[in-house]
A and B are shown apart, each in its own frame.
Chain A
């Protein structure tokens, strides 16, 4: 009986939303080659989560200007992990099957540690991801330390990338230097995620 009660209590209390300062919701998703990738396998390193949808003009802004690829290369080279997640539902016409998603990432010269597919939207919803792009940073202990936008210029114009304040670069810079993150929650902007 006691075990049953404990199990039921656990079931009732286990649903946690992605909130800065709280443990990041755990997930396992298949990457574009079908290999399962588990968030907690990266304990000990910073993990950047990027919500992506190749069909979105705001995503196109940051890949077309090589901004996103630059960030991916910069931080994966500093022993951090970068997971690009596509939560577009299967059946939506913007949905990219694994091969197509892999092809697109290769074509644009993207360099994330892994490109993950979340066609049920379960992980996107757990993080309350709303837009593409929507960015998160998980610290080495598994705590969510940043949630929000990629930068402060809400537009689809590639020219704005140069003059914008890049929140992810700033947050990762502070985090890797052992400083507290000054802007830990910012407004994400972009296309809505096609749940």
Chain B
């Protein structure tokens, strides 16, 4: 193609060289722009094209003594294509170059270039190139060039405080911007390929000292992710160039941990199973078994069925309400997770009172009827539907201290997906929990094998009260930790408190790290601790492999731990994870066994 002064037109692009003045002046820098204007729906690429594509390039042909500087790239856009993303420019873009003009230069000078670009729409890519020459008679574009220069990314060196540290699945960038800085969105565009997962959303959080941006790392990283070098783009238009070293290593997210890797159907199945198992938890079983035993008294079959259905509706409504609350809090930007209710001392105190009342009631210390006004006591008889519904609500309330295996994965999944998916998963949980009770209400015949109601039921009630008293004791203990009467359980020197930075630092030193994500209010956590983690043989096994032990205590609200859980695809405790240098972390089962720990440790040496 012969060099042309007029714009070169392809089917998709108009390309030309434009300048701020009609002729260069000796000794002064002269700014020339490659102007590319793509038709609607097509784009050209930034210096890092993202998952595919090719940056625009230019080779200058200049008179002797003239020297061209580098291409100055305007702030790019993130262009999603399916599961991938590109960085580039839709429509028109001016790529500026400052040309140094020698002091002895004589006009007119021929400024020419060979430009290559790739132009794509989401469906198709076409490589194009052209020989271009600056038209000395062309109208100067001083204004457009000045405007472009004004909008170029600026250095974030002054007034910004930036620190980056490796975390599970990516890099956390702590940002303290200048005081007058305001932005609704921030996104990091890397100069280097192969470090960042381009298509992934980068989560921005408001923190006490400023902002925190979580930048997910590429699943298949090229080289070490040890530096953030690129642009921070605010509100999609203002770019700030940053170059920040990353402290500590980026720890790969465990395989299968990303919420999305758990399919929708699998999440529903897990939630349903989790709901079923909830019925067997020590906090729920005593309450429900008393109710179920009353079925055997053989009331009117139709009334029983209606009762069962209202109970189910109560369970379902409670779970949906919880889901709605969680979704709402998340949308409002609060870092919460499953079990968040129990992080509130008020809720724990109310729960303790409730369990105490239930336990005393079962022990026969009092009948509810003798304590509450007759009118209220009769209400349960007068409004049997409301009574059944409230029994369902109560069952969910008392179940909340017991996060069950599978519920963790399913709820973690639910909360990373859309609100509708989250509601569906919580509904499955509710249905799972309600099913056994509703079935028994429909088929009380299944209870016929039980002995006839009699004094044995009274003694059974006394026995069933015991786990409830234990629950009360435990809730009081949780409460005492939350309000600070008792210190956190005497931390043996073996376990250190968890922090993201500490994990990254230890892994960077080549040390394996085991993290126990736990909370005083989490029964499963306490059981695992007693039966597995605190056993001398387990501690010895950890020591033999040089594994560092960190404990992340989620008894109270802690956004850092909530975030770490989210990075592992979880939203509640317990979570046990073994970070292995140079390998992806390994998640251990929520119901921990010594064998599982041994197996995970044995893998360290393979």
In Å, the complex CA distance between A73 and B495 comes to 57
User: Is B127 an interface position by the 8 A CB rule?
Assistant: yes
In Å, the complex CA distance between A4 and B269 comes to 10
Closest residue of chain A to B587 (Cβ to Cβ) is A13
In Å, the complex CA distance between A8 and B590 comes to 13
Are B409 and A12 touching (Cβ within 8 A)? yes
Q: A8-B270, A16-B255, A128-B220 are in contact. List 6 more A-B contacts (CB 8 A).
A: A8-B269, A9-B589, A12-B266, A20-B220, A131-B52, A189-B54
The number of chain A residues with a CB under 8 A from chain B is: 42
**Which residues does chain A contribute within 8 Å of B51, judged by CB atoms?**
130-131, 192
Closest residue of chain A to B218 (Cβ to Cβ) is A128
Given A4, A15, A186, which contacts B273 in the complex, CB threshold below 8 Å?
A: A4
Which residues of chain A from 175 to 195 have a CB within 8 Å of any chain B CB? 185-195
User: Is B544 an interface position by the 8 A CB rule?
Assistant: no
Are A15 and B261 touching (Cβ within 8 A)? yes
Are A13 and B256 touching (Cβ within 8 A)? yes
User: Is A17 an interface position by the 8 A CB rule?
Assistant: yes
User: Is B301 an interface position by the 8 A CB rule?
Assistant: no
Shortest C-beta distance, B21 to chain A (Å), equals 34
**Would you call the interface of chain B mostly helix, strand, loop, or mixed?**
loop
In Å, the complex CA distance between A21 and B220 comes to 10
Contact with A along B79-99 (1 / 0, CB 8 A): 001111010000000000000
Are A11 and B266 touching (Cβ within 8 A)? yes
Given A13, A55, A128, which contacts B219 in the complex, CB threshold below 8 Å?
A: A128
Known contacts A8-B273, A192-B84, A192-B86: does B123 contact A92 (CB below 8 Å)?
yes
**Which residues does chain A contribute within 8 Å of B406, judged by CB atoms?**
5, 8, 12
User: Is A19 an interface position by the 8 A CB rule?
Assistant: yes
User: Is B53 an interface position by the 8 A CB rule?
Assistant: yes
Given A12, A125, A195, which contacts B270 in the complex, CB threshold below 8 Å?
A: A12
Known contacts A130-B51, A130-B84, A192-B52: does B262 contact A15 (CB below 8 Å)?
yes
Closest residue of chain A to B79 (Cβ to Cβ) is A192
Closest residue of chain B to A124 (Cβ to Cβ) is B83
Contact with A along B375-398 (1 / 0, CB 8 A): 000000000000000000000000
Closest residue of chain A to B582 (Cβ to Cβ) is A21
Total CB contacts across the A-B interface at under 8 A = 105
**Which residues does chain A contribute within 8 Å of B252, judged by CB atoms?**
19
Closest residue of chain B to A11 (Cβ to Cβ) is B266
**Which residues does chain A contribute within 8 Å of B118, judged by CB atoms?**
156
Shortest C-beta distance, B244 to chain A (Å), equals 22
User: Is A116 an interface position by the 8 A CB rule?
Assistant: no
**Which residues does chain A contribute within 8 Å of B270, judged by CB atoms?**
8, 11-12
Closest residue of chain B to A14 (Cβ to Cβ) is B256
Are A190 and B220 touching (Cβ within 8 A)? no
**Which residues does chain B contribute within 8 Å of A119, judged by CB atoms?**
none
Given B52, B194, B273, B409, which contacts A5 in the complex, CB threshold below 8 Å?
A: B273
**Which residues does chain B contribute within 8 Å of A185, judged by CB atoms?**
194, 220-223
Are B262 and A195 touching (Cβ within 8 A)? no
In Å, the complex CA distance between A10 and B488 comes to 36
Are B255 and A18 touching (Cβ within 8 A)? no
User: 5 shortest A-B CB distances, which residue pairs?
Assistant: A15-B261, A192-B52, A156-B127, A195-B82, A130-B51
Shortest C-beta distance, A39 to chain B (Å), equals 18
Which residues of chain A from 18 to 33 have a CB within 8 Å of any chain B CB? 18-22
User: Is A155 an interface position by the 8 A CB rule?
Assistant: yes
In Å, the complex CA distance between A92 and B194 comes to 27
Given B84, B223, B269, B405, which contacts A193 in the complex, CB threshold below 8 Å?
A: B84
**Which residues does chain A contribute within 8 Å of B221, judged by CB atoms?**
185
**Which residues does chain B contribute within 8 Å of A21, judged by CB atoms?**
583
**Which residues does chain A contribute within 8 Å of B223, judged by CB atoms?**
185
Shortest C-beta distance, A149 to chain B (Å), equals 10
Are A17 and B125 touching (Cβ within 8 A)? no
Which residues of chain A from 21 to 62 have a CB within 8 Å of any chain B CB? 21-22, 55-57
In Å, the complex CA distance between A184 and B409 comes to 33
